[in-house]
Amino acid sequence: MADEALIVVDLQIDFCPGGALPVEGGDDIVPLVNGMVQSFEHVILTQDWHPPHHSSFASSHDGRAPFEEIEMPYGTQTLWPDHCIQGSGGAAFHPNFNRARAELIIRKGFRRSIDSYSAFFENDHATPTGLAGYLRERGISSLTLVGLATDFCVAYSALDAVSQGFAATVRLDACRGIDIGGSVSTMLGKMKAAGVTLG
């Protein structure tokens, strides 16, 4: 359908087993996502794309460890291991991911002082990536989201999609989560309450 798009979130080496911030089973979804890519007229990718010493890295904060939380000017921020650094091998898409049909790549997290989980907004929930405008200009109103990780970049993208007036479906079989302190269950609840279809 011309008004539907598949959004593949952060299917990158650093989020797969062996990467800097591995999601358990992250590479298991690659064959399924490759199949889905063939059945959508529009395919859009997101790519985490951090400069070195990004403010979301635990290494940028003395005495802090990965997965701790700190308060930033834009709100609570989880600290991460250094990952998806611009131009690094870990920032590359998974080598078995067939992305030839992708018409747009949204790079996020490239501003040093603010993280970006969502495909639509930075973590201040105010600075847009431009994706919403692109989708509207192309006449796309229905989105299916897959990728990594269920409870962070996929969930925040789906919530923002709904808030921007798009119909959003998350294909859970084509996602994998990090699950920090029950975050998968929490975010599934938030998505369902917001009107995201969980498939």
Within the chain, residue ranges assigned H as helices are 30-37, 131-137, 155-163, 183-194
Q: Find the catalytic residue in 115, 153, 160, 175.
A: 153
Report which of 154, 150, 158, 157 is spatially closest to residue 182, judged by C-alpha positions. Answer: 150
Q: Find the catalytic residue in 108, 115, 151, 160.
A: 108
Q: Find the catalytic residue in 10, 27, 82, 115.
A: 10
DSSP string, 56-67: TBGGGSTT--TT
Whether 10 sits among the annotated catalytic residues: the reply is yes
Whether 179 sits among the annotated catalytic residues: the reply is no
72 residue type, one letter: M
Residue 115 DSSP SS3: coil
Assess contact for 120 and 164: CB atoms under 8 A: yes
Strands 75-78 and 4-9: unpaired
Whether 16 sits among the annotated catalytic residues: the reply is no
Active site residues: 10, 108, 153
